[in-house]
Amino acid sequence: MICWWCRWQISRAADERRPLAEPVRRHADGCAGCAAHWKAALVLRSAMAPLPCPPDLHGRIMRAVRGAQAVAQEPAGWRRGVPASLWAAAAAALLAVVAVGVWFHSRWPSGRSGAEPAAWVSGFRWGAVEERAERLVRAALEAERHGLREDLLTTGRGLLAALDISFSDIRPGSATSSNGAL
Amino acid sequence: MDALVQRSDEELARRAVEGCGAAFEELANRHERGVYGFFLRRTGHIQDAEDLSQRAFVAAWKALGRYDPKRPFRHWLYAIAHRLSIDHYRARRREEDLVEAVPEREGMEAWASGEVWDAARRRLDGAQWTALWLMYAEGLSVREIAGVLGRSTVGVKVLLHRARRKLARAWAAEYGWRLPQAEREAVS
């Protein structure tokens, strides 16, 4: 007999709680592997000593069940009402944020330019700020230009004095100096 | 209460669904020892077995509305217990708590009872172990085990066969089994 078939037959006999067929038994007598398979089934069947049970197991189980019952039967008060109201508040806040966003978006025209913010921020004179800034920048530039001109004139006069020539000697197109050198 | 004792599990479950707490208590009274034994052998820890037993009955109570009275209550309860044991082992794996539990043996015969199931637990996967337990400890048939585990009867036969084969190989190697003729004659 083939061993795998014999072991399957042993398992079937164990499942159905019936004795082994004679050919299977004969094979198992001479086959250590099939005998071990048979013994495993027998050991499992015999290993059913009663288990000690904790003394208050029933009480603990029923306390756990009653605890679950109590939680399930709680009225829709603070446990269930609060989350619902929180959800409602969160939804209202979200709606408000979206509405404000849409309102701002509609008030802000596309193609932004420098003067446009003054149009939607009421009460804020954007033009006055711009004019003042422009005046300040112009004044600074003018002061810088004036200072630069003075510096250039002073330096030029110094150089000319060092060369012993005056402004009046300089003429456009003149290529030579008074001493004939370049 | 006396009247409840005479009722079937399924009738008690129907009453429990209708809100009869005493009916559910009677159900717990009937099955708590078996469920606790299942978890004790499955986990090897008394504390885990107690916790899981409580959770099994709480889960059963919560799911009573979905219980089909045409199905035996005990099979339905063990299906819940089997799922809980799987969850328990998954959680233990997540916690990397893979240290083998030391079998707790007070009140048990070493080889004849506790050690067999502890050894089986170490070697078999959850479904194989549960199938063997339901067969030998609860006395369920292959068809009933198939109902509990949600498998076909052929699938359960294969499961049981492979479980026995795995144990036979391990035990034969470990203990050098020789099966005396007298023992075979006595048991079969």
Q: Between B23 and B177, whose confidence is greater?
A: B23
Closest Cα in chain B, distance from residue A74 (Å)? 15
How far is it, in rounded angstroms, from Cα B112 to Cα B171? 14
A65 and B142: CB-CB below 8 Å? Answer: no
Per the CB < 8 Å rule, is B54 touching A25? no
- Residue to substitute from A25, A65, A71, A73, interface B, most B β-carbons within 10 A: A65
pLDDT for the residue numbered B93: 66
Spatial distance between the Cα atoms of A52 and B164, rounded to a whole number of angstroms: 26
Q: Which residues of B touch A8 (CB under 8 A)?
A: 161
Examine the pLDDT at A125 and tell me if it is beyond 90: no
Size of interface A-B (CB pairs under 8 A): 138
What local confidence, expressed as pLDDT, does residue B115 receive?
A: 75
| Dihedral sign for Cα atoms in the order B89, B94, B97, B99 | positive
Output A22 or B96, whichever has higher pLDDT: A22
Is residue B29 within 8 A of residue A58, CB to CB? The reply is yes
**Of the ranges A83-87, A94-98, B117-121, B169-173, the best mean pLDDT one:** A94-98
Residue B1: per-residue pLDDT: 53
Is B54 a residue whose pLDDT tops 90? Answer: yes
Q: Which residues in chain A have Cβ-Cβ distances shorter than 8 Å to B111?
A: 47
**Closest alpha carbon within chain B to A9:** B161
**How many angstroms separate the CA atoms of B16 and A31, rounded?**
54
With beta carbons under 8 A apart, name residues in chain B contacting A49.
108-109, 112-114
Chain A positions in Cβ-Cβ contact with residue B108 (cut-off 8 Å): 49, 51-52
Alpha helices by DSSP H, B109-152: 115-123, 126-136, 142-149
| d(C-alpha B131, C-alpha B110), whole Å | 22
Which has the closest alpha carbon to B167: A42, A73, A152?
A42
**What's the pLDDT tens digit per position in A153-169?**
888 888 888 777 766 66
pLDDT the model gives residue B99 = 41
Judged by CB atoms closer than 8 Å, whether chains meet at A44 and B116 is answered as yes
Interface contact flag, A49 B57, Cβ < 8 Å: no
Minimal C-alpha gap between A22 and chain B (Å): 11
Calculate mean pLDDT across residues B141-145.
Answer: 92
Contact yes or no for B45/B101 (Cβ under 8 A): yes
Structure tokens at A135: 């005046």
**B154: its two tokens:** 């052929």
Q: List the single residue in B with minimal CA-CA distance to A35.
A: B179
Residue A109: per-residue pLDDT: 62
Q: What is the mean pLDDT of chain A?
A: 78
> Distance between CA atoms of B11 and B3, rounded to whole angstroms?
11
Residue B172 and residue A7: Cβ atoms within 8 Å? no
Residue B180's pLDDT is what? 42
ipTM: 0.71
- Assign B40 a pLDDT band (cuts: 50, 70, 90): confident
Determine whether A35 is exposed, middle or buried from the number of CB atoms within 10 Å of its CB (0-12, 13-18, 19+). buried
pLDDT at A28: 87
Nearest to A163 by CA among A148, A152, A179: A179
CB contact under 8 A, B165 and A52: no
Place of tokens 């969850």: B87
With cut-offs at 50, 70 and 90, classify the pLDDT of residue B187: very low
**B140-165 mean pLDDT:** 93
In this prediction, residue A38 has a pLDDT band, given cuts at 50, 70 and 90, of: confident
Check if the beta carbon of residue B36 is closer than 8 Å to that of residue A57.
yes
Q: What are B98-111's pLDDT values in tens digits?
A: 444 434 434 333 44
* Integer Cα distance of B55 and B32 in angstroms: 11
pLDDT at B4 over 70: yes
Predicted confidence band of residue A114 (pLDDT cuts 50, 70, 90): low
Q: Which residue has the tokens 């003429």?
A: A171
Specify the range with the lowest mean pLDDT, choosing from A9-13, A52-56, B15-19, B34-38. Answer: A52-56
For residue A82, the tally of other CB atoms under 10 A from its CB is 11
Name the pLDDT band for A123 (thresholds 50, 70, 90). low
Name the residue among B24, B29, B55 with its Cβ closest to that of A58: B29
Please, where are the H alpha helices in B64-140?
73-94, 115-123, 126-136
Nearest CB partner across the interface for A20, out of B61, B113, B188? B188
The conformation of residue B113, written as its DSSP 8-state character, comes to: I
Q: Per-residue confidence at A9, pLDDT binned at 50, 70, 90?
A: very high
Query: Which has more confidence, A109 or A55?
Result: A55
Residue A120's pLDDT band, with cuts at 50, 70 and 90, is: low
Q: Mean per-residue pLDDT for B47-63?
A: 92
